[in-house]
Amino acid sequence: MKKKWFLLFAIFIMIIPLSVAAETESPMDKLDDISDEALQMVKFHRYDDAKKMLDYFSDTFESISVTVKPLTMDEVRIINSSHDEAMEAAVSPDMKHEERINKLTKFRLVIDAIATSNQPLWTEMEDPIRTAFHQAKEAAVSGNTADFHSNFNMFLSLYNVIYPSMKIDLPAENIQRLDARIKFIDEYRSQIIQDKDGQQELDKLDADLEKLFANIEDDEADPSLWWVIISTGSIIIMTLSYVGWRKYQGEKDLKKDRSREQKD
């Protein structure tokens, strides 16, 4: 019995440090949390508080920049640019609420793309982006000019929100190919609607968008979390095996004792 309690105590002691290590917040996770707080402040029309959070982000980023993973010049530029836009949204006296949210969302997605090595948040915008595009495509096919312009503008607005994050996570050549097709459709909207051959560009862009989101790797558990699961599972299995073996040995010895008593 004492051995059993000792083993359970050993499991408890070993699990605690592993769990704590898995849950320790990294500097980038802290910045990610701050960007999320700023976004939430804007959603609730608390623009002054959003500005304070963005100022706090700047101070924190500057203080921990030596401890975070090395950032490329492009990543630093994208962070600074999206932060400037977010700050503009927080302090602007006349910017529309929806535009403020878009700018803060863009900033939030950028920090998440840098902070996480798993499936980034910007991929969660696949449904609204592809829905807006499909509605524009249907309008073009039916010759509804007004609906095409309205829905394609919505698509461009949503695409602009995830664009900086895409540049962090995707190869440059993929972004350039997608940009070229979108710019062509945007520039030649009238021809796209009137010319059936031109509408093939919409089909190609549809296929590119499908590949864009399909190629993002499925979200995987953090390696440290997997280490906790594997280590803990192994310990538990070993313990249960040992307890089971002890129980089997005890029953076996009990049968032997009873067999001897019957013989006597």
Q: Mean pLDDT, consecutive 10-residue segments, the chain of 264 residues?
A: 47 45 69 96 97 96 73 92 98 96 97 88 95 96 94 97 95 92 94 85 94 68 43 50 56 58 56
Q: What amino acid occupies position 30?
A: K
DSSP helix/strand/coil, 35: helix
Most distant CA pair in the chain: distance in Å?
105
* Predicted structure pTM score: 0.72
Task: Please give the pLDDT value at position 110.
Answer: 97
- Give the Å distances, CA to CA, from 223 to 27, 39, 64, 116: 17, 29, 23, 12
pLDDT, residue 107, reads 98
Q: Which residues contact 49 (CB under 8 A, 6 or more apart)?
A: 41
Q: Which is it for the CA torsion 35, 38, 42, 47, positive or negative?
A: negative
Structure tokens at 156: 């461009």
Alpha-carbon span 211 to 83, nearest angstrom? 29
> Distance between CA 103 and CA 85 in Å, rounded?
6
Q: How far is CA 34 from CA 29, 53, 74, 162, in A?
A: 9, 6, 21, 19
Dihedral sign (CA 175, 179, 180, 182): positive
1 close to 236: Cβ distance less than 8 angstroms = no
Short-list 83, 39, 42, 90, CA closest to 61: 83
Tokens of 29: 């996770």
Burial 53-77 (b: 16+ CB within 10 A, else e): bbeebeeebeeeeeeeeeeeeebee
In this prediction, residue 220 carries a pLDDT of: 42
Type of residue numbered 97: H
| Contact present, 43 and 6 (Cβ < 8 Å) | no
Give the pair of three-digit tokens for residue 227: 């280490």
